[in-house]
Amino acid sequence: MNYRDQLISKINSKTAVVGIIGMGYVGLPLALEFVKKGFKTIGFDIDEQKIPLLMNGQSYIKHISPEKINQAVKSKLFSATSDFSRLKETDAILLCIPTPLDEHREPDLTYIKNSAVTVAQYLQKGQLVTLESSTYPGTTDEILLPLFEECGLKGGNAKYKVGKDFFLAFSPEREDPNNPDYSTSTIPKVVGGTTPECLEVACLLYNQVIVKTVPVSSTRVAEATKLLENIYRSVNIALMNELKMVFDKMNIDVWEVIEAAKTKPFGFQAFYPGPGLGGHCIPIDPFYLTWKAREYDINTKFIELAGEINTYQPYYVAEKVINALNQNGKSIKGAKILILGVSYKKNIDDKRESPSLKLIEIFQNKDAKVDFSDPYAPLLTPSRKYDYNIPSINLNAENLSSYDLVLLSTDHDNFDYEMIAKNSKLIVDTRNAFERHGIKSPHIYKS
């Protein structure tokens, strides 16, 4: 049987069933796009709490409306499950799963390996499997491919042949939560296949929902592309963070310098300093390449230096907070500090790798009393790194005036900056947000 032609026919006729493993910030929006285009889609997740929420049309991601999910469920094209045996019902399996770092800042492929073993358990001839998780070059070919080829040995049969019996590809996610200009369907998608047939069917599938696919010569090139995108940002943000510290010693405002440099119409792209890197990609992806590079006896000094600078930023901010308190006759020990914003960037509820979480830890270790306020996070709950159980504080004049210092970490648009400035004793601003809102005051320190 020609499985390639069969899969192409199913995709073109929209009778192909799409299975997406991981109903998080990447997998859920992608599932909704396939449903919107008329594909039956099954969302898989090991989190049993997510399944009833999705099937009842509820959202656990702030920027994804319940209406979109409810519409998908009512269309009968979308269902969510933790029963992975239903992978046998699908024609394409897309893996949208976390790729964190372990305690030694080395790649933790536990989620990929566990998911791959599960897929292998149910892999059917003619299926397409695509990995979307950020990872080092070689992951698809070195981990997934051998595992799936062995599936053919069940019952004494021959190995499955990639590009003939099943299809394997890598297509890195490019999700930017709550970006007003770009969504899942409007961001071009890089696709690399293990064989030309794999590339063909993967591109065809993504072309149904994505504005443009960008085919590349291999899965390794596609994997490296994702790393380059995020290393580029990491290095340039590290440069701004380093200049911020240098210019601060020179009594120069780095934000003013950047705004002036932006007026050059060529050869310069603005990046901005902050309290540290956050999100699932930029703080993590560069270390996947540095780890893999050691296999080739290469030390990625430039990338690692950028990582060191960015990792140091919460500690630098903490120093600025301590200095601001000292200048106003207050010790960090016993000080009441309110952190504004715990998501990693403004106007979203994604707290993964947020520098605010590290700042809370630093201040608690210095015996400060730390609270936070974030309209997108009513409660900080335990995570892989932190064992927090802290409720968000309501922002009002009375509450603000009770803190020794307010630290702006995430510059949400719906913060009332004038009210905050008016009622706070001291403010340390890591985002230049108050000045951007036209507010200058001697009690506002930039960091």
C-alpha pair distances (Å), 373 with each of 151, 292, 441: 51, 39, 22
Instruction: Name the residue type at position 44.
Output: F
C-alpha pair distances (Å), 50 with each of 10, 60, 118: 29, 8, 19
- Cβ-in-10-Å burial (0-12, 13-18, 19+) of 336 comes to middle
Which alpha helices (H) appear in 64-109, and where do they start and end? 66-74
Look up 281 and say whether it is catalytic: yes
Q: Is residue 239 left, alpha or beta, with left meaning phi > 0 and alpha meaning psi from -120 to 50?
A: alpha
* 306 close to 286: Cβ distance less than 8 angstroms: yes
Backbone angles phi, psi at 281, to 5 degrees: -110, -65
For residue 209, the SS3 value is coil
Nearest to 112 by CA among 234, 288, 329: 288
The residue annotated as part of the active site, out of 96, 198, 203, 281, is 281
Whole-number Å distance between alpha carbons of 415 and 373 = 10
Whole-number Å distance between alpha carbons of 315 and 106 = 22
| Beta-bridge partners for 370 | 337
Q: Other C-beta atoms within 10 Å of 113: how many?
A: 14
Whole-number Å distance between alpha carbons of 111 and 114 = 5
| Cα dihedral sign, 361-362-365-370 | negative
Q: Residues with catalytic annotation? A: 281
